[in-house]
Amino acid sequence: MSESMSRRRALSILIGAIVAAWSTAVAALSGLFISSTLKLGKTGKEVLLGDLTIYGDTFRAVRMRVRVDDGWYKHVEQQTVYIRADKENPSAPIVLSGTCSHLGCTVAWDESRGENGEFVCPCHGGRFGPTGKVLSGPPPSDLTRIPAELHGGDVYLRLS
């Protein structure tokens, strides 16, 4: 290999190394920075929904006020869940998320539909039964059941 060829090769390797090093540095710094907030708002929260006796055996929409740490913006957000007493298990009510599993719209409880009432999504027409099970439409999965616990007669939700 002539001298000029080996110099050209050495310079090409140097150029490749510099470009690779800086690209890696930029990607690493950007990734580190952006990933700081990926887990925001995913910490568990316990929310008090009040005395169990106020909930009957039909679903009732409850608008919870949840403190949200949205980056620098700390505020209170309203979220909807549906709650009713469970005849088979009086110690813990049934609580379903009001968020449709299809694309995130808020479902509405319609007691007059079906035999025992249905949840209907206003966006794309998804329908769910009283247990949250998908009946028809595009939702890929059932409504999420939120764990509820009783402490001294009060209902607490554990949100994640």
- Single-letter amino acid, residue 133: K
Q: How far is the CB of 24 from other proteins (least distance, A)?
A: 13
How far is the C-alpha of 37 from the C-alpha of 142, rounded, in Å?
Answer: 28
Decide: 133 and 125 in contact? Cβ < 8 Å. no
Residues 21-50 binding other proteins (CB under 8 A) are 21-22, 26, 29-30, 32-37
- Site residues (CB under 8 A) for other proteins, limited to 72-131: 72-73
Piece of 17-25, 52-60, 99-107, 144-152 that binds other proteins (CB under 8 A): 17-25
Task: Identify which of residues 38 and 91 has a Cβ nearer to other proteins in the complex.
Answer: 38
CB 147 within 8 A of CB 92: no
Bridging pattern class, strands 148-151 and 45-51: unpaired
Residue 129 CB neighbours (<10 A): 17
CB neighbourhood size of 54 (10 A): 11
CB of 141 to other proteins, least distance (A): 31
For residue 39, the one-letter residue type is K
CB-nearer residue toward other proteins: 56 or 71: 71
Among 18, 54, 61, 103, binds other proteins (CB under 8 A): 18
Contacting range for other proteins; rule: CB under 8 A; set: 13-21, 82-90, 113-121, 129-137: 13-21
**Do the Cβ atoms of 71 and 34 come closer than 8 Å?**
no
Please give the structure tokens belonging to residue 85: 């007493």
User: Minimum distance from CB of 8 to other proteins (Å)?
Assistant: 6
Instruction: Catalog residues that contact other proteins under the rule CB under 8 A.
Output: 8, 11-12, 14-15, 18-19, 21-22, 26, 29-30, 32-37, 71-73
